[in-house]
Amino acid sequence: MQPEEFRAAGHALIDWIADHRLAADQRPVLADVNPGEVRGSFPTTAPDSPVAFDELLQQLEQRVVPGLTEVQHPMHFGWFPANASLASVLGDITSSGLGNLGISWESSPALTEVEEVVCDWMRQLVGLTDAWKGTIHDTASTACVVALLVARERATALAQNQGGLQAVDAPLVVYTTSEAHSSVAKAALLAGYGWDNIQSVDIDPVTRAMVPESLAAAIEADVAAGRTPAAVVASVGTTGTTAFDPVDAIAEVIEASGRSIWLHVDAAMAGTAMLLPECRHLWQGAERSDSITWNPHKWMGTILDCSLFYVRNTGELESVMSTNPSYLQSTADGEVTQYRDWGIPLGRRFRALKLWFHLELDGIEAIRTRIRRDLDNTAWLAGEIEKVDDWTIVSPVPLQTICVRHMPDGLSGDELDEHTLRWVRNINESGAAYLTPARIDVPGLDGSWTVRISVGVENTERRHLEALWDLMRTTATSALS
């Protein structure tokens, strides 16, 4: 395709995307297709002659759109928000359009230096000191792998440079809780720690946050048994209920242990809240950790993939991640950042552009206003739910996620769980809204299936929450009959 053809097709595509976004709330929230249906709408072999762009747009409409779950729909309350601000979309398109290659500073100096700039802007916007240096990863999952690899090497005095993990005698232990995101255990497994060495520290039954005294006891017991505590992953805003592990107290425990245990703060979702000074008490102590990750690609709304990863000691990262082959060495080494030495991939996209566009075009104050709106709307809905007897909020609501059950008289145990799954399925299958069921066991509360209402889609206003609350009550009541 030549630039002039691209120009015409590109204009048509932008129109198509704008129309798609405008009509997002006209489509069912959850894709209404059966497994294999999208795949089956495609020929089994690649096309052997090119089609016109109009024809491709038609195919997009016919084959792909029916298989899209509309996470930008204002009635989407599932998982966590995956906002994709159109300002950031323009930055993402720019990155693609420039077709740059980030394998070294030389391969695109601007790619590296804009990333340095936006990471530093974002650091300031969440109130971290200038002790931190950041980079952009694809996801928080990758960032956690990186953190646990560096933790592993710190705990073994760079064993990778000799026999690696295979020559280490004492098992290395990672501490987290049952509430940590599944990517934490996955990262620990990939980094070679092994299931047996992932310690699930006790949680407070009400707040579902890590109990620091239990962490201290676990570390002590492991040391006594000849194991090496290597890392703690603290969740700042867990995926189930947005619980906040007490980072300051955890840092205190690590300090008191006298060991240089790596503390990784996983704030993938809640990092966005730290844009608001009034929320920062929720991650108090983050400054004392070794690494922090959070995803602008969730609630803040910089289109996926955009996960910020901050460390205080970049030298430690480089000692683990740097390979520096001869064909990448240059005279600028030592003066510039080589982001390949801060993470796993060699080739990097120009991700900083979407964050830069987002900040310039939407503006941080509008973003903060939207986050405050979502917190207000969540508090309003939680208040309404609390007023009604047969509805229960099962855990504290520090942020924008409410975990609820409809608990009518006479239902308990498996029947209660079946009822919960029935009403949420009825809502989801109707296409009118989407909510995520999750198992959350609360001591003293019957049943374990719970429904998560995760507020925060860019276009979700109070009226959408009002509509959701009506829908929940009517659907749950009719699910009884």
**Rule CB under 6 A: which residues touch ligand PLP?**
80, 139-141, 181, 183, 235, 237-239, 266, 268-269, 295, 307
CB of 25 to ligand PLP, least distance (A): 24
HSE of 171, CA atoms in CB hemisphere, 13 A? 18
Cα–Cα dist 398/207, whole Å: 10
CB of 423 to ligand PLP, least distance (A): 25
CB of 139 to ligand PLP, least distance (A): 3
Minimum CB distance to ligand PLP smaller for 146 or for 394: 146
Closest alpha carbon to 472 in 393, 411, 412, 398? 393
Q: Cα dihedral sign for 273, 279, 284, 287?
A: positive
Q: Cα dihedral sign for 86, 92, 457, 237?
A: negative
Cα angle 351, 355, 358 (rounded to 5 degrees) comes to 140
Cα–Cα dist 381/453, whole Å: 10
- Return all residues near 81 (Cβ < 8 A) that are at least 6 apart: 71, 298, 299, 301, 454, 455, 456, 457, 458
- Return all residues near 173 (Cβ < 8 A) that are at least 6 apart: 193, 197, 198, 199, 222, 227, 228, 229, 230
Tell me 231's DSSP state: E
Minimum CB distance to ligand PLP smaller for 76 or for 419: 76
Q: Are 457 and 83 in contact (CB under 8 A)?
A: yes
CB of 264 to ligand PLP, least distance (A): 11
Closest alpha carbon to 105 in 94, 114, 96? 114
Minimum CB distance to ligand PLP smaller for 115 or for 222: 115
Minimum CB distance to ligand PLP smaller for 181 or for 464: 181
Residue 27 pairs in a beta bridge with none
CB of 314 to ligand PLP, least distance (A): 21
CB of 396 to ligand PLP, least distance (A): 16
Minimum CB distance to ligand PLP smaller for 81 or for 212: 81
Minimum CB distance to ligand PLP smaller for 126 or for 269: 269
CB of 241 to ligand PLP, least distance (A): 11
CB of 128 to ligand PLP, least distance (A): 18
Minimum CB distance to ligand PLP smaller for 237 or for 246: 237
Minimum CB distance to ligand PLP smaller for 156 or for 176: 176
Closest alpha carbon to 466 in 84, 74, 70? 74
CB of 376 to ligand PLP, least distance (A): 22
Cα–Cα dist 310/134, whole Å: 4
Tell me 81's DSSP state: -
Minimum CB distance to ligand PLP smaller for 133 or for 264: 264
CB of 302 to ligand PLP, least distance (A): 12
Minimum CB distance to ligand PLP smaller for 139 or for 319: 139
Cα–Cα dist 178/385, whole Å: 27
Torsion of Cα atoms, 150 then 151 then 152 then 154, to 10°: 90
